[in-house]
C-alpha cells in the first residue's frame, strides 16, 4: 500500500482508547446470552415434543385395547392403566400422566367417549438459572374420541 494511505490509519489506531475492545466484549457477552437462551428453549421444545409423541402413542394404544375398554366395568380406570403402562414403556413416570374420561353416550350397542391425555414434565434450566428460573413445567394435553358402535352388546355396570 502506498505510504500516504497507511499513515492516517496508523494515527487513528494510535489514538484508539479501547472502544473497539469494549464493544467486542459486550457483543461477545450478548452472543453467549442468546446461545444460552437457544439451548434452554431448544431443550424445552425437545421435552415437549417427547411428551407429545408419548401422548400420541397412548392415544393410539387405546385402539389395541378396545375390547378391554368396551367391556370394562370402569373404563376410566382401564384407560389410566393403559396410559400408565405405555408411559413407563416410553420413559415417563406414572405420576406424569393422567387421563380425563368423558362418556358421551352409552346404549346397549354403543359407547361413545372422549378423553384428554395430560402429560407433565419439568425441564431443568441451564442458562436461565442466572435469572432465577431453575425449572420450567411443560404440559401437553392430547384430545381423543372413540366410538364403539354396532357391537352385539356393550357391557356397562348394572347391565346383565
Residue 138 lies in a domain: yes
- pLDDT, one tens digit per residue, over 73-82 is 888 888 899 9
pLDDT band at 131 (very low <50, low <70, confident <90, very high): confident
Residue 155 lies in a domain: no
Predicted model pTM: 0.74
For residue 107, the enclosing domain spans 3-148
pLDDT of residue 12: 65
| 131 DSSP 8-state letter | G
- Report the number of distinct structural domains present in the chain: 1
Residue 135 lies in a domain: yes
- pLDDT, one tens digit per residue, over 89-111 is 999 999 999 999 888 887 777 77
pLDDT of residue 2: 57
**What dihedral angle (degrees, nearest 10) is formed by the CA atoms of 56, 57, 60, 66?**
-140
- pLDDT, one tens digit per residue, over 35-51 is 999 999 999 999 999 99
Residue 12 lies in a domain: yes
CB of 138 closer than 8 Å to CB of 48: yes
Sequential DSSP letters for 110-127: -EEEEEEEEEEEEEE-SS
Amino acid at each position: 500500500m502506498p505510504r500516504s494511505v497507511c499513515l492516517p490509519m496508523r494515527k487513528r489506531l494510535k489514538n484508539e482508547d479501547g472502544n473497539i475492545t469494549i464493544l467486542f466484549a459486550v457483543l461477545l457477552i450478548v452472543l453467549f446470552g442468546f446461545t444460552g437462551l437457544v439451548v434452554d428453549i431448544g431443550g424445552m421444545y425437545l421435552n415437549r415434543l417427547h411428551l407429545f409423541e408419548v401422548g400420541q402413542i397412548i392415544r393410539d394404544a387405546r385402539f389395541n385395547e378396545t375390547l378391554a375398554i368396551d367391556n370394562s366395568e370402569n373404563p376410566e380406570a382401564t384407560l389410566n392403566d393403559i396410559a400408565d403402562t405405555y408411559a413407563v414403556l416410553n420413559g415417563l413416570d406414572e405420576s406424569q400422566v393422567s387421563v380425563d374420561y368423558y362418556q358421551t353416550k352409552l346404549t346397549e350397542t354403543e359407547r361413545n367417549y372422549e378423553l384428554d391425555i395430560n402429560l407433565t414434565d419439568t425441564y431443568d434450566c441451564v442458562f436461565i438459572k442466572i435469572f432465577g428460573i431453575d425449572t420450567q413445567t411443560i404440559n401437553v394435553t392430547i384430545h381423543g374420541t372413540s366410538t364403539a358402535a354396532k357391537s352385539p352388546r356393550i357391557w356397562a355396570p348394572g347391565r346383565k
